[in-house]
Amino acid sequence: MINMKKRTGFVCGDKMKRKETAYIKEKKWLAEGIVSMRLSVSFAALVKAGQFVSLFVRDTARLLPRPISIADADAEAGTIRLVFRVAGEGTRQIAAMEEGEALEVLGPLGNGFPLEAAAGKTVILAAGGIGIPPMLLTAKQLLCTTGARPRWCTPALCVHADGWRNEETFLLDDLRETGNVLIATDDGSVGVHGTVIDALTKWENECTTGARPLWCNAVIFACGPKPMLRALKEFAAERDVPLYVSMEERMACGVGVCLGCVTKTAGVDDHSKVCNARVCTDGPVFDARDVVL
């Protein structure tokens, strides 16, 4: 039986989380329905790749906050960057706010990617849709840790495999500053016509590494919709590559109280004695072997 607590490091959230008033320092529309915001916060230096914040809207009829992953953090400037899709009334209200306005923020929340697992390895950052933004911060923190720069078809720091809907490839320029980018689009307008798996398979087929197998010293960090993560889990298992996934689930409280984001696990949690975990506090990042996708 899998010792869930030992392998995923389940804890009751980050003790450093805090709720405070943040101010919008910058706002940009990156694509249709995709907005980028920089917020001034006191906890920018505490943010770990893969964590998220909860934003509270003004509408008193909507008591629950909106969880949004952190795309970047600048400790010196005291800001975090959020990139999100307008998906409902809550995110619509947040997206309608302008520079200089204030909103309540709770964060940083959740457990991030285990960057130590990437030491000395080729890191594949695989993402789809609105799962792409947190990979920017992940890549930047990896660069700060190793100082390395990637090259094609050799042991590299970071290779992005990202999937967009169409030619509106938001954050592409930012991602290219941190690593090589394999592009896939649903409509085939840019890059590979298909999924992230199609892009990785094409890269695998084209990449020559001499006597060194492509996947012999690699790790995959991923974020995106569950079907993509499910396919990546199979892809990684076939190549015996470690995979860590950041799960996108609907959340309510964001601090592990409401149990609205429970996901099924492959083993029993030592604490609860059940095959469940809370994405908001036990995740959102999990070892893919420990969750049922």
pLDDT in tens, 66-99: 899 999 999 999 999 999 999 888 899 999 999 9
Q: Which of 235, 248, 249, 147 is nearest to 196 (CA)?
A: 235
pLDDT in tens, 264-288: 777 776 666 777 878 778 879 999 9
Count the neighbouring beta carbons within 10 Å of the beta carbon of residue 276.
15
Instruction: Respond yes or no on whether the N-terminal peptide bond of residue 284 is cis (omega within 30° of 0).
Output: yes
DSSP class per residue in 9-43: ---SS-TT-EEEEEEEEEEEEEETTEEEEEEE-TT
Q: Is 240 exposed, middle or buried (0-12, 13-18, 19+ CB in 10 A)?
A: exposed
pTM of model > 0.85: yes
- Ranges under pLDDT 70 in the chain: 1-16, 59-63, 145-157, 208-213, 249, 252-254, 256-257, 260, 269-272
Kind and range of the H or E run holding 91: helix 89-95
CA distances from 75 to 40, 41, 42, 132 (A): 10, 9, 9, 21
**Burial call 113-147: b when 16+ CB within 10 Å, e when fewer:** bbbeebeebbbbbbbbbbbbbbbbbbbbbbbeebe
Predicted local confidence at residue 1, as pLDDT = 31
Length of the chain: 293
Predicted local confidence at residue 265, as pLDDT = 76
Predicted local confidence at residue 283, as pLDDT = 77
